[in-house]
Chain A
């Protein structure tokens, strides 16, 4: 079983990140490349995630591939007690590639060990969602024309937000990033990530207030502050309106600055930001299709 997989963002080297970036740019310039003609891709969504599924299925369709799979395990044999092992064994007989999302952490790594064909992790519980990170990187390189020397502000839930952790790991492969963390103390960036940056000699700054310090930012990466993360609802009420980005706050930000968000948003980006040219989160979502085309082409050696 030597199939190439994408399970965790740490599975890829810097060279592979850069190759995905190049391929994504190529697919964006020439989206009609029927490289998956005659191939079957299984999209196994053991829990629903409409956004991610549509993005993958668009990428597969654009590449000319056929799709099999399910969108919710309640409509499949999984509810009849079939193990993940047996589901993956069966599907890997039918498909050339498996894209899976599963509520349990580590499920994608396990599936990749069972499967004879490559597996792409489209989210395993709170653990990893590497294609999101690669599309974030593509959005950064597209808007900044570089991945070195990026001043990256991360805002909101930095404790549980897996997207910010993976993006931090990915950006640490590039030269001289500056990280600025803006979060309530309850949702601060975990120590392990700060220690990791220290070990690589990389700079980071922590803030609890969302103020004009953002004027230095190249990228502001916004995340949701979710109510269920707070044991005490009173604590949530205290911070829920503190980390909201409003259009008037963008006045003194740099011209090249762009705002990213993994979506869906709740209220953390006010709708008055949407028409500002610095708002990039909807373009970011479209970049996901090209990035996923690139990942598929890379794993299946189609290019």
Chain B
């Protein structure tokens, strides 16, 4: 095998690249790819010049809206998307942390209602780099190093 990704090419759909290896399964879960009927292939711990180990996901026949894909920015801030049609790359997109985040991260505050009752979390993103999230409920700020993905 040469320096080629061990994940087969797709005819049409989306390739999500530059995902940190540790975030692969979180990305799958955030995008609910574990529940979709389309063909999903992924590879993990692939060589990368940019990261220690990276993962890639290919989803046949799926095209994501910006809003949908930006949800993964919290766990994969450098993820890149290639949109494929007829085996050709027809579009590129780099994810961006949205201004509001619904139900992806946990509030770090153990006394927050969201950690005691089964409800969605909502955060206002008050800083993107490093990430800082203000909880709509307890009003406390969760910083990047305290962040946990639900």
A binding-site residues for B, Cβ under 8 Å: 8, 83-85, 102-107, 109-110, 124-128
Contact = CB atoms under 8 A, between A and B. Distances in A.
Contacts of A109: 113, 136-137
A110 B117 contact: yes
Contacts of A84: 113, 117
Contacts of A124: 113, 138
Given A8-B139, A110-B137, A128-B139, A105 B113 contact: yes
Interface SS of B by simple majority: loop
A105 B137 contact: yes
A171 B144 CA distance: 32
28 contacts: A83-B117, A83-B118, A84-B117, A85-B117, A85-B119, A102-B113, A103-B111, A104-B112, A104-B113, A105-B112, A106-B113, A106-B114, A106-B136, A109-B113, A109-B136, A110-B113, A110-B114, A110-B117, A110-B119, A110-B137, A124-B113, A124-B138, A125-B111, A125-B138, A126-B111, A127-B138, A127-B140, A128-B139
A125 B135 CA distance: 15
B116 interface: yes
B109 interface: yes
Interface in B112-138: 112-114, 116-119, 135-138
B83 to A, nearest CB: 37
Nearest to B107: A106
Nearest to A125: B111
Contacts of B109: 105
Interface of B: 107, 109, 111-114, 116-119, 135-140
Contacts of B117: 83-85, 110
Given A125-B111, A126-B111, A104 B136 contact: no
A110 to B, nearest CB: 5
A104 B111 CA distance: 5
A104 B116 contact: yes
Given A84-B113, A84-B117, A105-B137, 16 more contacts: A8-B139, A83-B117, A83-B118, A104-B116, A105-B109, A105-B139, A105-B140, A106-B107, A106-B112, A106-B113, A106-B135, A107-B113, A107-B137, A110-B113, A110-B119, A124-B138
Contacts of B116: 104
A102 B114 CA distance: 14
Contact of B137 (A85, A103, A106, A126): A106
Contacts of A127: 138-140
Nearest to B135: A106
A204 to B, nearest CB: 21
A105 B113 CA distance: 6
A84 B112 CA distance: 13
A102 B117 CA distance: 13
Contacts of B107: 106
Contacts of A105: 109, 111-113, 137-140
A61 B111 CA distance: 33
A142 B139 CA distance: 31
A126 B140 CA distance: 11
Nearest to B119: A110
A221 to B, nearest CB: 21
A128 to B, nearest CB: 7
A6 to B, nearest CB: 15
Contacts of B113: 84, 102, 104-107, 109-110, 124
Nearest to B140: A105
Nearest to B121: A106
Contacts of A125: 111, 138
A202 B105 CA distance: 35
Among B111, B114, B136, B140, find the residue whose CB has the most chain A CB atoms closer than 10 A: B111
A102 B112 CA distance: 11
Among A104, A106, A110, find the residue whose CB has the most chain B CB atoms closer than 10 A: A106
Contacts of B140: 105, 127
Can you list the 3 inter-chain pairs with the closest CB atoms, starting with the nearest? A106-B137, A105-B138, A106-B138
A110 B116 CA distance: 12
Contacts of B138: 105-106, 124-125, 127
